[in-house]
Amino acid sequence: MEEEVKGIEIDSKTKELIKSWQQQATLLKKKHPKWSAAKIQKEMKDRIIRQAEAAIPTKGAKEYIEGVNAHLKEVEDSRNKAIDDIMRYMGRTNPEAVATVLYELDCGCIRACAVSKEGAPMGEMIMVSGKPVETGYDCSACREDGGAHSERCIDKSIIWPGDESELPSEEFRLAIGKKVFGDDYSMDDI
């Protein structure tokens, strides 16, 4: 993605706005340390949209914001479809797995691995593109680091197959989460 943005120059007003958003996100992280990166990201998205709606109340701006919201919904729908596809694949290739671990990266790609009832990885770690796949498409960020740079991970979670009534006990899910992600994993993460 870097090579796609090399020629773009950001003006000072935009830089100040981005810096302000980064500061707001940092304050949110401090105020709510148990919030996941996804929750902070959603809160920031909602704040930015509210600020934009308040600042630009014209009809054209509202249409623009509606377009942005429609695009965000497309992105979310694409993410949900990717997760559904990952769960189907993991169910086929690792039927004895109790869950699937997801690492969502800042480029939109998702790394996933099946997990055993002991909390150990099963099978291969797969990578799913966060963008519509085109012939020959390759995520430049993931190509550079293999999708393994921990600072690029914006959310990590465990997805349990089945519906609410089929979920294992909270104690079991917490124990698996701690084995996968470490002792910082808590009931808030379930």
**Tens digits of residue pLDDT in 41-100:** 888 888 877 777 676 666 677 787 788 888 888 878 888 888 888 999 999 999 999 999
Q: Are 140 and 152 in contact (CB under 8 A)?
A: no
Question: What are the phi and psi torsion angles at 145 (to 5°)?
Answer: -120, 10
For 141-160, write each residue's pLDDT tens digit. Answer: 787 877 777 788 888 899 99
Domain ranges of the chain: 2-189
